[in-house]
């Protein structure tokens, strides 16, 4: 189901089905947003126009985007700014990130207990930013002993040494997104990304540390078939992926790939059951499910307590 009216100058109205209901912001959300701004940090929640910002930030989860706000890639689904950062990296960012998380937990009863660290692609850096990524993980964990840290990494051009650098920082969860089915990779992602390359990153993380929880995410509604989606799910399981997130693709602007279909809840439920039958330890599937999704984080916390 899709009804869309495009206007001049890139503006458009996207009339969504009745099952799309976004939770409004809370006071806690506004306070946390202020702290992120104060420390000069970025969140993928804001940069990528995530519909779950209010729910996650108000419920104890924060997702930060490190290595700047400018991506060297130009994926056709993503709202993050594209350009050439020219090797610029804020060396103070790992420390600032740790300080920000600690400050968040001084606000009140709704403590941040789960932090997701992601980043733009940094093809301009010799190690693709892996070393900086690892420093961020270590700083947050050292300063906030009770916090779980999940990483959502770029593909590092498939370099296993870069993957090892991040894994050796001991995140609690290693995530990298396949994004879409094999056939649609070229239509949706930057040419430097790729289906096999993403699978190799996930497989490498699991090989380096077999006990590490691994996670991937796919967008639906881009024109993929159910059979193609299940094939991708099987490939992810073959790469050792433990957790799978399936969500509805939402078009950020008229310049991005259009939505082919708004998936009804029953289709998401069917794919969730299919994923569980394939052996994923956890599957979240629904219109607003994203890579960083609170239900998945609650699952992780329960697993890590055992």
The residue with tokens 């190799």 is 200
Closest CA to 244 of 213, 223, 267: 213
Within a domain: residue 280?
yes
**C-alpha gyration radius of the chain:** 18
Within a domain: residue 8?
no
CB within 8 Å of 292: residues ≥ 6 apart: 44, 45, 50, 52, 56, 61, 63, 116, 118, 150, 152
Query: How many angstroms separate the CA atoms of 278 and 166, rounded?
Result: 28
Tokens for 95?
């420390």
Within a domain: residue 78?
yes
pLDDT reported for residue 79: 86
pLDDT reported for residue 108: 53
Within a domain: residue 9?
no
At 195, give phi and psi (nearest 5°).
-60, -55
Within a domain: residue 16?
no
Longest dimension (CA), the chain: 55
**pTM (2 d.p.):** 0.84
Task: Look at the chain and report how many structural domains it folds into.
Answer: 1
Note down pLDDT in tens along the chain; length 306 residues.
443 444 444 444 455 555 555 554 455 556 666 666 667 666 554 444 444 455 554 555 678 889 999 999 999 999 889 999 999 999 999 999 999 888 877 655 556 778 889 999 999 999 999 999 999 999 999 998 888 999 999 999 999 999 999 999 999 999 999 999 999 999 999 999 999 999 999 999 999 999 999 999 999 999 999 999 999 999 999 999 999 999 999 888 888 999 999 999 999 999 999 999 999 999 999 988 877 655 456 667 667 765
Tokens for 229?
């989606």
CB within 8 Å of 98: residues ≥ 6 apart: 139, 140, 142, 143, 144
Helices 93-104 + 27-38 axis angle, to 10? 150
Within a domain: residue 5?
no
Within a domain: residue 284?
yes
By the 8 A CB rule, do 101 and 115 touch? yes
* Residue 159: CATH number of its domain: 3.20.20.70
The residue with tokens 């050439």 is 84
Q: Provide the residue range defining the domain that includes 145.
A: 21-305
Within a domain: residue 59?
yes
pLDDT reported for residue 167: 98
């Amino acid at each position: 189901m899709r009804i869309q009216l495009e206007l001049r100058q890139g503006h458009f109205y996207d009339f969504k089905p009745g099952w799309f209901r976004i939770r409004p912001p809370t006071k806690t959300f506004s306070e946390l947003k202020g702290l992120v701004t104060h420390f000069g940090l970025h969140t993928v929640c804001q940069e990528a126009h995530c519909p779950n910002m209010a729910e996650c930030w108000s419920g104890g989860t924060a997702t930060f985007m490190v290595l700047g706000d400018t991506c060297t890639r130009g994926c056709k689904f993503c709202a993050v700014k594209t350009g050439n950062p020219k090797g610029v990296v804020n060396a103070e960012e790992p420390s600032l990130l740790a300080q920000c998380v600690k400050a968040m937990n001084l606000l009140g009863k709704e403590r941040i207990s789960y932090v997701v660290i992601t980043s733009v692609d940094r093809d301009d850096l010799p190690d693709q930013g892996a070393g900086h990524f690892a420093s961020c993980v270590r700083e947050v964990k050292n300063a906030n002993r009770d916090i779980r840290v999940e990483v959502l990494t770029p593909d590092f051009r498939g370099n296993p040494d870069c993957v090892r650098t991040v894994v050796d920082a001991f995140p609690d969860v290693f995530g990298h997104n396949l994004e879409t089915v094999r056939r649609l990779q070229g239509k949706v992602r930057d040419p430097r990304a790729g289906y096999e390359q993403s699978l190799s990153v996930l497989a490498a993380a699991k090989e380096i540390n077999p006990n590490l929880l691994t996670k991937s995410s796919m967008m639906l509604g881009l024109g993929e078939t159910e059979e193609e989606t299940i094939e991708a799910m099987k490939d992810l399981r073959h790469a050792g992926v433990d957790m799978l997130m399936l969500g509805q693709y939402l078009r950020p602007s008229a310049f991005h790939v259009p939505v082919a279909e708004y998936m009804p809840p029953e289709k998401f439920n069917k794919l969730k059951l299919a994923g569980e039958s394939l052996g994923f330890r956890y599957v979240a599937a629904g219109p607003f499910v994203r890579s960083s999704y609170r239900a998945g984080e609650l699952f992780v916390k329960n697993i890590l307590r055992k």
